[in-house]
Amino acid sequence: MIEGDLTDAASLVEAIDWLPREDWTSAHGRQLSPEALERLHRLSAELRQLRGYMGDDLTTLLGEVERAMLLDIEVAARPGTSIHQARRNLDAFQDAAAGFLYTSQRVDVLAFLAWLEAAAAEENGLDAAAPEVNHEAVQLLTVHASKGLEWDVVFVPGLNAGAFPSSRDSRWSSGSAALPWPLRGDRADLPQWDVEHPDQKGWLDAEKEFKSAVQVHGEAEERRLAYVAYTRAKHVLWVSSAAWVGSRAGMADMSPFLAELEMLAADGTAAIHPLSVSEESLPEESPLTSELEVAGWPYDPLEGPTDPRTGARLRLVPGRRSAMQSAAQRVLDSLDSGVLLDAVADAGGTGPRQGRPLRGRPAAGRSRPRPCWNAAPAGP
C-alpha cells in the first residue's frame, strides 16, 4: 500500500458529511430508515460544528465536545452523587489535557491523541481521579491517590528500608524500558549522566556518580511522598514497621522515615505503642517461617477449616461433627434395642401406630439390611 492509496481512501467522516438521499438503496438492497437518517444528519451537523473549534485551544475543544455529547448532564444526573464527585473524572481529564499543553511542544489534536495512545500502551492509562473521603468506611489508598484528602485517623504500615523509601534502581541507563532523562520534559529537575568524556573509563566513572545522584534524588522524592502520607491525618497518625516480612530470610531494617520520628516520642508529641517490640527484643529467626504450617484440604464440611498455626477451628459455632456423630450413635443404639416406636399420631386422631420390631445389628460377616419402617395399618 502506497501513500496515495491512504490519501484517496474514503473515511467515515466523509461518509457522515455526504449522507445519501432518502430513497437510497445500497448494492446489497439495504436502506436507511427515516429515523436513522435523521440521527445521522444530527451527528453530521454536530461533528461539523465541533470541527470549527479545531483551531482553538485544546481545553476549549474538549469542553465543547463534553457539552455536545451531554456528558456533563449525564454525570450530573447520577443519583446519590454530588456534582463534584460526579465530575471528578471529567475534571481529571481536563487537568491531564492542561498538563499536556504545558509540557508538549506540539499541542494539536493529533498530538494529544497520540499522547493518549502512548499513555494507554506504556503507562496503563492516565492516573485515576482522586477519590472522595468516605467517613463511613475504611479506605485503602496509595500515597499518590491520597493527595489532597484528609482523614481523622491514618495508618501508614510497611515503613521498611528498601520498601519505603524504595531501593529500586530508577536510572534510565539500567535498562531499555525507561525514556532517557535528557529527552523528558522535566529533565531540568533530574540528575544527568555526563557523557562528555574522551574514553570509556570516564564514562563509567561518570555513570557511578550518576547512580549516586539518582539514589539521592529518589530518596528525596520518596521523602516528599512520606510527608504527603503523614499529613493526611487530622488527629491520629499510626506508623509501623515489620521486622519479618513474608518468607524473606533476612530481617527487614526500619525505614529512616520511621526512625526519624523517634524524636517526637522523646518530647511527648508522639507515643510508642505498648505492644511494639524493641530492636533488642526481636527474634533472631522469623516466626513466620520457623515452624511448618500445614493446612489440610479438603477440610471437614461440618467443622470448617482450621488455623494451621494453632489447630483451632475457625468456625464460629464448633461442634457440628460431634453432634452429628452423637445423633447417629443414638440411632444405632435404637436399632440395637430391637424396636422403634413412631411417636407421631395419625392424621385422623386414631392414636399412635404400633411399630413392628426391626432387625438389630447383623452378625459378623453379614451385611446390614436397609433400614425401613414397617407399620401396621390402623383399624381391624
CATH fold for the domain made of 144-281: Double Stranded RNA Binding Domain (3.30.160)
pLDDT score of 364: 47
pLDDT score of 130: 67
Which residue matches cell numbers 495508618? 155
Q: How do residues 252-282 score in pLDDT, each as one tens digit?
A: 888 888 888 888 888 888 888 888 888 777 8
pLDDT score of 90: 86
Task: List the one residue out of 113, 117, 147 whose CA is nearest residue 129.
Answer: 147
pLDDT score of 378: 43
pLDDT score of 306: 76
User: Which amino acid would we find at residue 266?
Assistant: A
Buried b (16+ CB within 10 A) or exposed e, 13-49: eeebeeeeeeeeeeeeeeebeeeebeeeeeebeeeee
Distance CA 334, CA 373 (A): 13
pLDDT score of 154: 92
Q: How do residues 31-81 score in pLDDT, each as one tens digit?
A: 888 899 899 998 888 888 888 888 888 888 888 888 888 888 888 887 777
Distance CA 380, CA 378 (A): 7
Structural contact between residues 17 and 44, judged by C-beta atoms closer than 8 angstroms? yes
C-alpha cell at 294: 500445614
Mean pLDDT, each 10-residue run in order, the chain (380 residues): 57 83 86 89 88 84 88 81 79 87 82 88 78 77 83 90 81 72 78 79 80 83 90 90 80 86 83 81 78 73 75 70 86 73 46 47 46 41
From 3.30.559, 1.10.486, 1.10.3470, 3.40.50, which CATH number describes the 10-122 domain? 1.10.486
Domain assignments of the chain as residue spans, ordered by start: 10-122, 144-281
Distance CA 171, CA 220 (A): 15
3-state secondary structure of 239: strand
